[in-house]
Amino acid sequence: MVEVISQTRYRFHNGVWSQEPAEVVREAPITLWVNGREIATIIATPNDIEELICGFLAMEGIIAQRNQITIFQYHEDDQQVWVRIPKVNEERLLHFARPTLSGCCGRGRPSLYFANDQDLTPINGDLTPHLSPATVATLFSRLNRVTQQQHSGGLHAAGLGSQDGALQVARMDVGRHNALDKVYGWSLIHQHDIRSLVVVFSGRLSSEVLIKVARMGIGIVISNAAPTSLGIELATMLGITTVGFVRNHELSVYSYPERIQS
């Protein structure tokens, strides 16, 4: 469950001011240490920490499996995470010069051809399902039901859905990138092969989001928001179907539309 904090707010409604309690999402800086080296400070919702860190490390190409981490320690009092990875890819670690990852948009990337992403390959289209528009709508409706359980607002959500419309897992965070990392971390911890699943996402389909989807090996991402031009370009290069503006009886497909069939 996402942690919320009670906060007084002053509300103006119908011409009248009132003072009332409100719930706000807790946001905290979580500092990650790998083999004694400070790697990053992630601004995130401090829940599902192991999933967040495992997903982040996998997305950055530092690990491929959860069992590569031999020690995992989360110190909640000072929001420090210490992990030990005996056979870590040192070249990957060199890309980190103590960056701070914002809760909104994640780590900035300098150009179209990203240093950390040269190993990306197109996803295995044979494992990618075909969905009907009705199934797309069902998946997003189920993600919405999860997010509506939180009344504080201010959260992004990501989930993994199957071809039959079932939502396998959903995670929320103040950062849309963090939410994706959490669901990927969940799959690594539980050793689930997710390549035949679908990413369901409440956020803009930017280039960084498409890179994360590709790293997960998933061929379809659906969202209620818009894609960016670079997001569509990468999706086309990487074999990913992008579905945006999912709402009511409407959706838009920007790449590989043959996978969304009536």
Q: What is the DSSP code string of 234-254?
A: HHHHHT-EEEEEEETTEEEEE
Fold topology of 126-259:
Cytidine Deaminase; domain 2 (3.40.140)
Burial-class residue 119 by CB neighbours within 10 Å (0-12, 13-18, 19+). exposed
Rounded to whole angstroms, the Cα distance separating 233 from 211 reads 11
Q: Which CATH class is domain 28-109?
A: alpha beta
What is the average pLDDT value for the chain, to the nearest integer? 87
Q: What is the pTM of this model?
A: 0.88
What is the model's pLDDT at position 241? 95
What is the model's pLDDT at position 17? 85
Predicted confidence (pLDDT) at residue 14 exceeds the cutoff of 90: no
Strand order in the sheet with 28-34: 71-75, 80-84, 28-34, 37-44, 100-101
105 tagged catalytic: yes
Of residues 107 and 118, more confidently modeled: 118
4-13 contacts at long range (C-beta below 8 A, 24 or more positions apart): 4/150, 4/152
Amino acid (one-letter) located at 94: L
Residue 139 phi, psi dihedral angles, 5° rounding: -60, -45
- In whole angstroms, how far apart are CA 68 and each of 32, 54, 58, 64, 215? 16, 10, 10, 8, 17
What is the model's pLDDT at position 111? 37
pLDDT tens readout for residues 159-215? 999 999 999 999 999 888 999 999 999 999 999 999 999 999 998 999 999 999 999
What is the model's pLDDT at position 154? 72
In the chain, what are the domain boundaries? 28-109, 126-259
pLDDT tens readout for residues 117-157? 667 889 989 999 999 999 999 999 999 988 776 655 678 89
pLDDT tens readout for residues 36-89? 999 999 999 899 999 999 999 999 889 999 999 999 999 999 999 999 999 887
Question: Contact 122/237 with Cβ under 8 angstroms?
Answer: yes
Q: How many CA atoms lie within 13 A of 204 on its CB side?
A: 11
Question: Contact 225/245 with Cβ under 8 angstroms?
Answer: yes
What tokens appear for 141 in the block?
Answer: 């409706």
Average pLDDT over every residue of 107-118:
46
Given the residues 85, 93, 105, 225, the one annotated as active site: 105
Angle, CA 61 vertex, CA 58 and CA 66 arms, to 5°: 35
